[in-house]
Amino acid sequence: MSDADVLIVGGGIAGASLAAELAPFLRVLLIEAEDQPGYHSTGRSAAFWDESYGGPGVQPLTTASGAWLRAPPPEVSEHGFLGDCGALYMGRAEDVALTDAYEATFGGAIALQRLDRAALERRVPGLDPRWTHGVFEASCADIDVGGVHGAFLRLARRAGAAILPSRPLQAAERRDGLWHVRTPGGTLTAATLVNAAGAWADRVAEACGVIPVGIVPYRRTVVQLRTDPAPPAVLPLVLDISGTFYFKREGSGRLWLSPHDETPSDPLDAAPEELDVAIAIDRFQGVVDWRIDAVERKWAGLRSFAPDRLPVYGFDPGEPGFFWCAGQGGFGIQTAPAAARLAASLLLGRVPDGIAEGIDPAPFSPKRFAA
């Protein structure tokens, strides 16, 4: 007899949410390389839920997840995981075409409001005069990343899933209808192996004898600043429409700032580069006249993308017992409820229902890379 029906590799948001969806129906075993799930990308998120973030291919998953995150079922949490803040995409005079394209892309699916210079100044005091216009997305919210991740882990355990930390996959082979997965703690067996290994997804595929799909990790830098004046209590998430920075108020008057960097990286324990921190600060000083009193923290995480920047959900076309749940970029947390339901439906051979009802799984299939 096998150890599980499904063995999930990776305990970040992808693996945890899928385990929670599958555990009521199958024997689920989740192995995590680190001593705590969510150590890498999930634990280093910039913590916002933005319907347009990730592009039009991702937006249906984000939108479908919104109601669950705002008001989860009572068995999940007594409170929601989102706190409204709004998102402000700003542009300069030369960015009007980009702003128009943004509105044309998302205006039919998301409530957007075009803002002039005076409206920008009311939302971002001390704004440099070169920023002339913007688009406000009222639905954007802060997200309790630890709360969401922890809720999925609790749901999975409650339904019978076993979660084993410090158990990296070393190698795996499929024989006699089962995966035999070698780990430092011994060999585990399961009928289906799920690759939810984030930045390590392609390496896990190779260790299983499966052709990688081309998932590449990219480093993203975030710094925590103390400024004078402190960020307003009602400051929205502020993003450059051309994609060179974003910043948001965090906690007790601090600011989280990113240069929106995407530097290809090996899968590893990412650390910020001083040059990226300097670039972030330089760009920030071209946005507002606030004085930076201190850089209090800095960190980096890896955001992993498939070649077309869409997530990968589904059985591998060359190895039917190998299921992909990876390539979630920087939007894995904000899409987790709907993405997990969609992926679980595919694995269970069912039509997507509930919050994933009506979402076409075809664009996310690994079959698109078969050629």
For 306-327, what is each residue's pLDDT tens digit? 999 999 999 999 998 999 999 9
Please check whether residues 118 and 222 belong to one and the same domain.
yes
Tokens coding 355: 């919050």
Query: Given 249, 279, 305, which residue is the final one in a domain?
Result: 305
Please check whether residues 102 and 44 belong to one and the same domain.
no
pLDDT score recorded for residue 252:
81
Please check whether residues 288 and 238 belong to one and the same domain.
yes
**Beta strand 178-183 pairing with 254-258:** unpaired
**What is the rounded CA–CA span in Å between residue 193 and residue 209?**
12
Q: Residue 126: inside a domain, yes or no? A: yes
39's enclosing H/E stretch is none
Range of the domain at 19: 4-67+144-215+307-369
- Residue ranges for the chain with pLDDT beneath 50: none
The CA-based dihedral angle spanning residues 328, 60, 85, 111, taken in that order and rounded to the nearest 10 degrees: 150
Q: Residue 76: inside a domain, yes or no? A: no
Please check whether residues 362 and 326 belong to one and the same domain.
yes
Please check whether residues 196 and 92 belong to one and the same domain.
no
The closest of 370, 291, 334 to 87, measured between CA atoms, is: 334
Please check whether residues 323 and 359 belong to one and the same domain.
yes
Q: What is the CATH number of the domain that holds 279?
A: 3.30.9.10
Please check whether residues 187 and 225 belong to one and the same domain.
no
Place of tokens 């009928």: 191
Tokens coding 276: 């990226």
Give the chain's domain count.
2
pLDDT tens profile 258-292: 999 999 999 999 999 999 999 999 999 999 999 99
Please check whether residues 246 and 121 belong to one and the same domain.
yes
Please check whether residues 232 and 281 belong to one and the same domain.
yes
Please check whether residues 230 and 243 belong to one and the same domain.
yes
pLDDT score recorded for residue 1:
82
pTM higher than the cut 0.95: yes
